Structure 1
Amino acid sequence: MSFLELAKNRYTTKKYDAAKKIDPSVIAELQEILRLTPSSINSQPWKFVFVGESQLKARLAAVSYFNEEKINQASHLVVFSGLDNVEQFEQQIHRHLPEGAVAYYNQMLKPLGDSSIKAWLNNQVYIALGFFLSAAAHLGLDSTPMEGIQAAAYREILGLPHHQPLFAVALGYRHPEDKNQPGLAVKSRIQPADIIDTY
């Protein structure tokens, strides 16, 4: 299937088949794909937590507003968090990045202050989300990205001292009766002429 066809068929899943679980080998492939996600200056300021264990998943579902049911139905929940300790981030880039990348950070980002740095770090995590959703579709998985989580509760439950949960993705296989799937619901998008300019 072409990437365009994947884009046409991928959708935000509202109802999962709770009996179908993702094979561990597929989870391992997704984890490696996330590890290879691009980021500005190769900063990689993130942590990804895969939750397949039902009791832990249920605890997170309970602090996920209107997303509780779909999280409990899904095979896995993947939590995306951004590094929110600037000092730790600076230590990380000094260990892992070349001098040019560190110099860019010091000259262009550090003078902006901690709040701007943290916003920039979080933006990198959203790049990973797009990469991940495309990879999941390629692997035949259905997904539901959701910012509707209680981030502080997620952080406490998962024990994340230096990372701030930003959003989560339910992952699994659609229920045949999911009314949001293509074929049963029309994908709604703005027309190209309204959002794309070509020169």
Structure 2
Amino acid sequence: MDFLELAQKRYTTKKYNANEKLSDEVITKLKNILQLSPSSINSQPWHFSFVFNPQIKEQLAEASYFNAPKVLESSCTVVFSAIDNLEKFEQQIEANLPEGAVGYYRQFLKPLPEHEVKAWLQHQVYLSLGYFLSACASLGIDSTSMEGIEKDKYKQILKLQDYQPLFAVAIGKRDENDANQPELKPKSRLLVDQIISEL
């Protein structure tokens, strides 16, 4: 199946089959794919929490508004967090990135107000989200990205230090009666000519 077909078939899953779990092999592939996610200057300012533990999932569900059923029913909930400690981030890139990349950060990003630097770091995590959702589709895994979470409660539940949760992704196998499937509810998108121009 080519990528266009995957894009046509992929959808935001609303209801999961709680009894069907993803294999360890698939989870390992997803972890390796996330490790390879692209980011500006290869900054990699992220942390990914794979949550399987039912007790922790219950706590996350309570901090997930209307997304609670997806957290509980999915095989796994993956929480995407951005580094929130600029000193730690600078130590990380100085230890792992070439001089040119570190120089770019020092010249163009570090002089900015702290909130702008942190926003830039968070943008990199969103790049990994697109990568991850596409990877799930390629592996036949259903997924639901969820910004509707209480981020500070997630941070406390996951005992994260120096990282701020941004969003979560439920992954697993759809319930066969999920009404949001493209076969039952066609995708709604703007026309190509409305969103793309050629110059």
Q: Which of the five TM-score ranges fits, normalised by the shorter chain?
A: over 0.9
Pairing of 1:73-92 with structure 2 (within 5 A): 73-92=73-92
User: Does residue 113 of structure 2 align to residue 137 of structure 1?
Assistant: no
Please tell me the residue identity of whatever aligns with 2:173: Y
> Residue 113 of structure 1: CA displacement?
2.1
Aligned partners of 1:150, 1:99: CA distance in 2, in Å?
A: 38
Task: Report how many residues are paired.
Answer: 199
Please list, as runs of the form range in 1=range in 2, the aligned pairs for 1:36-75 lying within 5 A after superposition: 36-75=36-75
* 1:115-130 alignment runs, 5 A limit: 115-130=115-130
2:97 corresponds to which letter in structure 1? Answer: L
Helix, strand or coil at the partner of 1:111:
coil
CA shift for structure 1 position 62: 1.1
Whole-angstrom CA distance in 1 between matches of 2:198 and 2:75:
41
Letter in 1 for 2:102: V
SS for the counterpart of 1:38 is coil
Query: Which residue in 2 is equivalent to 1:31?
Result: 31
CA distance in structure 2 between the aligned counterparts of 1:19 and 1:159, rounded to whole angstroms = 28
Deviation at 1:63, TM superposition (A): 0.7
Q: Report the secondary structure of 2:166's partner residue.
A: strand
Q: CA deviation at 1:93?
A: 0.5
The offset of 1:54, in angstroms, is 1.4
Under a length normalisation based on structure 1, what TM-score does the superposition of the two structures give?
0.99
Deviation at 1:55, TM superposition (A): 1.4
- The corresponding residue for 1:19 is 19
Distance 1:194 1:138 in 2: 28
User: Once the two structures are superposed, what CA deviation does each residue of 1:40-76 show, in whole Å capped at 9, x if it has no partner?
Assistant: 0000000000011211111111110001111111000
- State the partner residue of 1:146: 146
Distance in 2, Cα, partners of 1:15 & 1:182: 14
Which shows bigger deviation, 130-139 or 105-114?
105-114
How large is the Cα RMSD of the aligned pairs? 0.6
- Distance (Å, rounded) in 2 between the aligned partners of 1:70 and 1:101: 39
The whole-number CA distance in structure 1 between the counterparts of 2:141 and 2:54 is 19
Structure 2 unaligned spans of 5+: none
Deviations 1:78-103 (A, max 9, x none): 00000011111001000000000000
Residue equivalent to 2:105: 105
2:195 counterpart of 1:198: no
Give the aligned residue type for 1:93: I
Deviations 1:17-45 (A, max 9, x none): 01100001100000000000000000000
Q: Secondary structure in 2 aligned to 1:81? A: strand
Q: Distance in 2 between matches of 1:76 and 1:118?
A: 27
Aligned-residue offset at 1:182: 1.1
Runs of 4+ in 1 over 4 A off after TM superposition: none
Deviates more, 1:48-57 or 1:143-152: 48-57
What SS class does the counterpart of residue 140 from structure 2 fall into?
A: coil
Q: Please name the residue that 1:94 is paired with.
A: 94
* Letter of the 1:90 counterpart: E
